């Protein structure tokens, strides 16, 4: 067994690998960029080596620097994690050439599956069904458009070297093909260094079902059953489960056998995942599933397979890479219960899952029955350089219903403040009727997007509680505050404050009257709501609101207040009348960056006449492209940025000439 390994990754997967290595008595080396100097994985490892600047190409994607770090620290092996260099055959080869063990498949296996077009051809030769489409070498736009027409719309454009939803576009109409193709090619080039694409027929009611496989150096291959990963946004998974609901023994056998054939065809060693797409328009059927791709690495969602099999997949990776045979035979593997994983991201679901950045003011997971895989803590920064994953919330139960109940409880009792997240979206998704019924498909989120993201105004009691807590949490500590100085009340008469709150979908002006120590009457214009604070903790309160006991988490930044109770997060803003009086109606005259990122393309110039909704600037942030459009009809007055420029959130990208008003 290895004496020391280097983990060539960051975040939760680096922490995950380090935990197993530590349990096995193996020393670990972390690597980090300038953005990750104080990161959790750096603190957990026995040693740490700086790779370079924050951009991944200057650090985590540098083969030379990673290999040099392993050589310098005397590591016996390198674990690539997932993402970054994990599926880079040149990296695997360079590791081997340095006399270091690559904890993963041979470079030849990575190459065989790395180019999706070649992989599909190989699968056809091996008797594995593939989705109809175009996988050829000719990449001219005209030919690709012709092939798309032959396949029939809708079609799926996919980067041949891709994965994780990068370089992927669904196209429903012929007139949208060219723009989608160019966007997919740019994204593929930026993510994988290869802009070649392939085309596939887009199945209208598909399920994404994948099979975990494992091979060793002695020719043994097993599968560890399936995972259903159909709940996706932007072709990236949000909630995964194992086993797949509705799976029959015949279907499981057919998919498992096909996955093992795939692994054997390329002499696979280590952990891998064979992804299939199943057409469920007529239900699950052994003759209606197709090979999509093979991920030659550990998957993000591997914990749910661990939960239902009792296997530590990272330990298996280490043992197999060290030359040991697989610890178990196929006949010894069984499924125990049901498991779910929910991915908690820093993103704004209502704004098209736009990635978010900022400092995690608070991060709490209080359900002790849930497994939390995370690489961040309260106080850490979610930067624009890497994937915005905050944590994976994993639960297990004896049945699907029991596991789903635990998932809901785990989501309800989790809390994040300081950064916009998809926590509430996950809670709604986990309660969606068709998902609860066990009928997931990849269209579930799109079909129910409005229901999943609709604005729900806070209840009157929540608004009243926010008004009271705003007086305590948003007051500057150095300010003479009579509320705190007099214990929130006055002996010679009732003390009152007017509090104005803005929230998604509305605003309220309330009169808060102190009736006694920590006891208030809140007038909302219609009725009086009694609020009593009965307990305080670190950012937490117990209160009695309108006769009901509640526990609430509260976080305040500047004039913004966030409350989390009953599994819901409510954001409030206290307007500043002095600063807002100076604002005018210039918002529609400017196009601003919604988050930090890189300006990839500027599609306009000074003097150009544009229409509302026309794409003007393409930005790249957190490995995704964002197309920014004209806020109104008008003429470009000034272009304030250039292609290749890094900009911060709120940066003015361009301005339109002010609209002339009639006299």
Catalytically active residues are 297
Q: What SS3 class is residue 206?
A: strand
Q: What token pair was written down for 124?
A: 């056809």
Please provide residue 644's backbone torsions phi and psi, each rounded to the nearest 5 degrees: 95, -5
Beta bridge partners of 549: 544
DSSP string, 599-620: EEEE---TT-EE-TT-EEEEEE
Question: CB count, 10 Å around CB of 402?
Answer: 14
End-to-end CA distance of the chain: 84
Question: CB count, 10 Å around CB of 25?
Answer: 9
CA distance 548 to 539: 20
Q: What SS3 class is residue 32?
A: strand
What is the maximal distance between C-alpha atoms in the chain? 90
Is 545 exposed, middle or buried (CB count within 10 Å of its CB: 0-12, 13-18, 19+)? Answer: buried
In this structure, the strands spanning 609-610 and 221-233 are unpaired
Q: What SS3 class is residue 245?
A: coil
Contact by Cβ (8 Å): 147, 199: yes
Per-residue H/E/C for 64-122? HHHHHHHHHHCCCEEECCCCCCCCCHHHHHHHHHCCCEECCCCHHHHHHHHCHHHHHHH
Dihedral sign for Cα 368, 374, 377, 383, please: negative
Residue appearing with tokens 């490995």: 623
CA distance 203 to 280: 9
Contact by Cβ (8 Å): 460, 529: yes
Contact by Cβ (8 Å): 246, 438: yes
> What Rg value do the Cα atoms of the chain yield, rounded?
27
Question: Distances from the Cα of 512 to the Cαs of 349, 477, 485, 490, 592, in angstroms?
Answer: 33, 20, 17, 14, 37
CA distance 643 to 91: 30
CA distance 464 to 483: 17
């Amino acid at each position: 067994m290895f004496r020391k390994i280097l983990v060539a990754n960051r975040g939760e997967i680096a922490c995950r690998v380090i935990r197993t290595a530590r349990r096995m008595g193996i020393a670990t080396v972390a690597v980090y960029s300038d953005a990750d100097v104080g990161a959790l994985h750096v603190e957990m490892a026995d040693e740490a080596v700086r790779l370079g600047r924050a951009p991944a190409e200057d650090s985590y994607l540098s083969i030379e620097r990673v290999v040099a770090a392993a050589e310098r620290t005397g590591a016996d092996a390198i674990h690539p994690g997932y993402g970054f260099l994990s599926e880079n055959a040149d990296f695997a080869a360079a590791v081997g050439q340095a006399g270091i063990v690559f904890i993963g498949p041979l470079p030849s296996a990575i190459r065989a599956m790395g180019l999706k077009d070649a992989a599909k051809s190989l699968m056809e030769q091996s008797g594995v069904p593939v989705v109809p489409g175009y996988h050829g070498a000719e990449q001219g736009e005209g030919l690709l458009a012709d092939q798309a027409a032959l396949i029939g719309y809708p079609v799926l454009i996919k980067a041949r070297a891709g994965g994780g939803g990068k370089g992927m576009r669904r196209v429903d109409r012929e007139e949208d093909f060219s723009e989608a193709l160019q966007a997919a090619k740019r994204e593929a080039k930026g993510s994988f260094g290869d802009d070649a694409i392939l085309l596939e027929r887009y199945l209208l009611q598909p399920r994404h079902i994948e099979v975990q496989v494992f091979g060793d150096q002695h020719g043994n291959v097993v599968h560890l059953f399936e995972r259903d990963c159909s709940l996706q946004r932007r072709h990236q998974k949000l909630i995964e489960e194992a086993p797949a609901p509705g799976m029959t023994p015949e279907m499981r056998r057919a998919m498992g056998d096909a996955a093992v054939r795939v692994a054997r065809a390329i002499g696979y060693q280590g952990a891998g995942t064979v992804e299939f797409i199943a057409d469920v328009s007529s239900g699950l059927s052994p003759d209606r599933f197709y090979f999509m791709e093979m991920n030659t690495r550990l998957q993000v969602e591997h914990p749910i397979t661990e939960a239902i099999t009792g296997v530590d997949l990272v330990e298996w990776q280490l043992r197999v890479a060290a030359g040991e045979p697989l610890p178990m035979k196929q006949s010894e593997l069984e499924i125990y219960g049901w498991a779910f994983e929910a991915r908690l991201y820093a993103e704004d679901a209502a704004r098209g899952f736009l990635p978010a950045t900022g400092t995690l003011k608070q991060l709490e997971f209080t359900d002790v029955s849930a497994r939390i895989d995370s690489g961040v803590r309260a106080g850490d920064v979610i930067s624009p350089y890497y994937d915005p994953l905050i944590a994976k919330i994993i639960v297990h139960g004896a049945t699907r219903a029991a596991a789903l109940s635990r998932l809901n409880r785990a989501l309800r009792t989790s809390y994040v403040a300081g950064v916009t997240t998809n926590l509430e979206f996950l809670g709604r998704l986990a309660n969606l009727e068709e998902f609860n019924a066990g009928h997931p498909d990849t269209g579930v989120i799109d079909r129910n997007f409005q229901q999943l993201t609709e604005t729900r105004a806070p209840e009157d009691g929540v608004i009243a509680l926010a008004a009271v807590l705003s007086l305590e949490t948003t007051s500057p500590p150095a300010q003479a505050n009579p509320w705190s100085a007099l214990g929130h009340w006055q002996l010679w008469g009732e003390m009152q404050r007017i509090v104005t709150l803005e929230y998604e979908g509305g605003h309220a002006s309330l009169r808060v009257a102190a009736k006694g120590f920590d006891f208030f009457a809140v007038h909302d214009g219609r009725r009086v709501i009694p609020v009593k604070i009965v307990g305080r903790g670190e950012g937490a309160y117990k209160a009695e609101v309108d006769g009901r006991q509640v526990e609430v988490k509260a976080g305040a930044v500047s004039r913004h207040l966030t409350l989390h109770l009953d599994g819901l997060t409510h954001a409030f803003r206290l307007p500043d009348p002095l600063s807002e009086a100076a604002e005018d109606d210039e918002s529609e005259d400017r196009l601003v960056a919604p988050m930090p990122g890189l300006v990839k393309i500027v599609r306009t110039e000074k003097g150009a006449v544009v229409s509302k909704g026309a794409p003007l600037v393409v930005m790249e942030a957190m490995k995704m492209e964002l197309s920014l459009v004209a806020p109104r009809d008008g003429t470009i007055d000034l272009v304030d940025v250039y292609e290749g420029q890094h900009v911060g959130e709120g940066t003015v990208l361009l301005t339109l000439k002010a609209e002339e008003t009639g006299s």
